[in-house]
């Protein structure tokens, strides 16, 4: 099964590479050929996209605070996540697009960047990447490991392949007990497990964005609805609902924050077709009194939108994407509403919905639920219930210690060489 995978990925590599280059560019990154400007050992963090990378930031921050000499290499699958990490402007961090899953590409990267360890965020289990690390003496950690029941059933069909992959993992920390059990059943042996940690629950409110004071006069928070990280199909549903809301709440505002800003043109076409006037954040436009929709089409500005909004619809939940994190809007004091697709965060959404800390809606009822949430007292009730039921994230210090211990032998060898 492993050999079949390697033959398949090698055969498809030219087509995958062409697609990625046309879509995102950065040919050298995708082949592991990009070289650092400065030499020195690095700990490699890999995250699929925006949400996963953002959830790993507290771990990266903690490691760098604990080890002032540590350099970090961050890779992502998407250009938007890469751009987000670049915008963090973090010292001692290098950011690349991840190489495709070819053993020689990974060997180039491991050598050029003097990698002392690979930290995989959530469930990015690429067989050649992990095998190449193991054969090169580079330990591999999974942090916030997450595996849904649906993914587990798919993985079980390739049992030999994934048992081989998991055998090369050095240590793991699960997001929840269910994920730990599923990964154990697939072959991750019990001695590799460390304390569980829900990375998304580690989220802390960042400093007030510098643009906040300029934007605040234009947004009455209790009357502002944020549609956060929307996907294709959700903008139309949200705009239809908001049109109905405006008939009863003429002062309501909508901030439409796209999950992928590159989709701005198709969303602009929807807005224009509906005849809805809007301002575009990427062009520096501020809303006028008669313009009630803001198209938030930039990366890295979610903390600003959370601060301006009293109500937050969490995207990826009215379409089958599994929903995005409720932790961030709750920490910022937003009243949360979400759709039925929520398997990415099933445990916390079930808890929120059970205690009345969030509203579960659908396309048909969205406008009514939004109107109910524009009552400041209802917002206050949801905020209090949501914050009261947030679980403890886990022991971050224990996770940092485990990663440092994992890389200790490699660090010694690197210094000796």
CATH number where 251 lies: 3.40.50.2000
Same domain, 170 and 256: no
Flag whether 202 is in a domain: no
Flag whether 193 is in a domain: yes
Flag whether 65 is in a domain: yes
Residue 157: both structure tokens together? 């069909």
Flag whether 366 is in a domain: yes
Q: Is the pLDDT of residue 13 over 60?
A: no
Q: Which of 161, 143, 170 has the alpha carbon at shortest distance from 53?
A: 143
Q: What pLDDT does residue 75 have? A: 97
Same domain, 307 and 398: no
Report the distance separating Cα 36 and Cα 240, nearest Å. 49
Each residue's pLDDT tens digit, 18-37 = 565 555 557 789 888 899 98
Q: What pLDDT does residue 155 have? A: 86
237 Rama sector, left if φ>0, alpha if ψ -120 to 50, beta otherwise: alpha
Range of the domain at 23: 2-197+394-416
- Contact residues for 239 (Cβ-Cβ < 8 A; gap 6+): 254, 256, 270, 271, 274, 276, 293
Q: Is the pLDDT of residue 294 over 90?
A: yes
Report the distance separating Cα 417 and Cα 299, nearest Å. 41
pTM of the model: 0.82
Q: Is the pLDDT of residue 287 over 80?
A: yes
Q: Is the pLDDT of residue 416 over 50?
A: no
| 3-state per-residue secondary structure call for the chain | CHHHHHHHHHHHHHHHHHHHHHHHCCHHHHCCCCCCCCCCCEEEEEECCHHHHHHHHHHHHHHHHHCCCCCEEEEECCHHHHHHHHHCCCCCEEEEECCCCCHHHHHHHHHHCCEEEEEEECCCCCHHHHHHHHHCCCCEEEEEECCCHHHHHHHHCCHHHHHHHHHCCCEEEECCHHHHHHHHHHCCCHHHECCCECHHHHCCCCCCCCCHHHHHHHCCHHHEEEEEEECCCHHHHHHHHHHHHHHHCCCCEEEEEECCHHHHHHHHHHHHHHCCCEEEHHHCCCCCCCCCEEEECCCCCHHHHHHHCCEEEECCCCCCCCCCCCHHHHHCCCEEEECCCCHHHHHHHHHHHHHCCEEECCCCCHHHHHHHHCCHHHHHHHHHHHHHHCCCCECHHHHHHHHHHHHHHHHHHHHHC
Same domain, 308 and 294: yes
Same domain, 216 and 284: yes
Q: What pLDDT does residue 26 have? A: 74
Which range, of 53-62, 140-149, 154-163, 366-375, averages the lowest pLDDT? 154-163
Same domain, 356 and 376: yes
Same domain, 376 and 240: yes
Residue 356: both structure tokens together? 């009345």
Same domain, 238 and 375: yes
Same domain, 337 and 400: no
Look up the CATH number of the domain holding residue 86: 3.40.50.11720
Q: Is the pLDDT of residue 150 over 90?
A: no
Q: What pLDDT does residue 330 have? A: 97
Same domain, 271 and 295: yes
Q: How many domains does the chain have?
A: 2
Flag whether 251 is in a domain: yes
Same domain, 156 and 256: no
> Mean pLDDT across the chain, nearest whole number?
90
Q: What pLDDT does residue 19 have? A: 62
Flag whether 299 is in a domain: yes
Same domain, 290 and 176: no
Each residue's pLDDT tens digit, 370-383 = 999 999 999 999 99
Each residue's pLDDT tens digit, 62-115 = 999 999 999 999 999 988 889 889 988 899 999 999 998 999 999 999 999 999
Q: Is the pLDDT of residue 174 over 70?
A: yes
Flag whether 78 is in a domain: yes
Flag whether 203 is in a domain: no
Same domain, 72 and 51: yes
C-beta contacts of 79-82 below 8 A and 24+ residues apart:
79/23, 79/24, 79/25, 79/26, 80/49, 80/50, 80/260, 80/261, 80/262, 80/299, 81/47, 81/48, 81/49, 81/50, 81/52, 81/53
Question: Which of the four pLDDT bands, split at 50, 70 and 90, describes residue 236?
Answer: very high
């Amino acid at each position: 099964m492993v050999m079949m995978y390697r033959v398949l990925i090698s055969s498809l590599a030219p087509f995958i590479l062409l697609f990625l280059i046309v879509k995102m560019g950065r040919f050298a990154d995708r082949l592991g050929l990009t070289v650092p400007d400065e030499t020195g050992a690095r700990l490699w963090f890999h995250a699929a996209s925006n949400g996963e990378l953002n959830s790993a930031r507290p771990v990266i921050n903690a490691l760098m605070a604990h080890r002032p000499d540590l350099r970090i290499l961050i890779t992502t699958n998407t250009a938007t996540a890469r751009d987000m990490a670049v915008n963090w402007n973090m010292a001692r961090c290098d950011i690349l697009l991840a190489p495709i899953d070819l053993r020689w590409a990974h060997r180039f990267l491991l050598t050029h960047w003097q990698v002392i360890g690979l930290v995989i965020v959530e469930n990015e289990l690429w067989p050649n990447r992990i095998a190449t690390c193991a054969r090169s003496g580079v330990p591999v950690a999974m942090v916030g490991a997450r595996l849904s029941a649906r993914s587990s059933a798919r993985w079980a069909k390739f049992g030999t392949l994934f048992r081989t992959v998991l055998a090369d993992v050095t240590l793991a920390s699960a997001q929840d007990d269910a994920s730990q059990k599923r990964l154990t059943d697939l072959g991750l042996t019990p001695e590799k497990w460390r304390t569980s940690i829900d990375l998304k629950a580690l989220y802390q409110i960042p400093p007030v964005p510098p643009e906040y004071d300029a934007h605040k006069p234009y947004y009455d928070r209790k009357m502002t609805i944020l549609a956060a990280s929307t996907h294709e199909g959700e903008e139309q549903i949200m705009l239809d609902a908001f049109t109905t809301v405006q008939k009863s709440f003429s002062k309501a505002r909508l901030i439409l924050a796209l999950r992928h800003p590159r989709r701005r043109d198709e969303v602009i076409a929807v807005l224009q077709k509906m005849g809805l006037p809007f301002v575009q954040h990427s062009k520096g436009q501020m809303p006028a009194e008669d313009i009630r929709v803001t198209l938030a089409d930039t990366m890295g500005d979610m903390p600003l939108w959370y601060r301006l909004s009293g109500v937050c619809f969490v995207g990826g939940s009215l379409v089958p994407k599994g929903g995005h994190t409720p932790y961030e809007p709750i920490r910022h004091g937003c009243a949360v509403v979400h759709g039925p697709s929520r398997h990415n965060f099933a445990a916390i959404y079930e808890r929120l919905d059970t205690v009345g800390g969030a509203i579960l809606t659908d396309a048909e009822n969205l406008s009514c639920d939004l109107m109910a949430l524009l009552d400041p007292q209802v917002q206050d009730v949801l905020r209090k219930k949501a914050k009261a039921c947030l679980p403890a994230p886990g022991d971050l210090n224990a996770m940092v210690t485990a990663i440092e211990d994992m890389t200790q032998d490699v660090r010694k060898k690197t210094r000796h060489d």
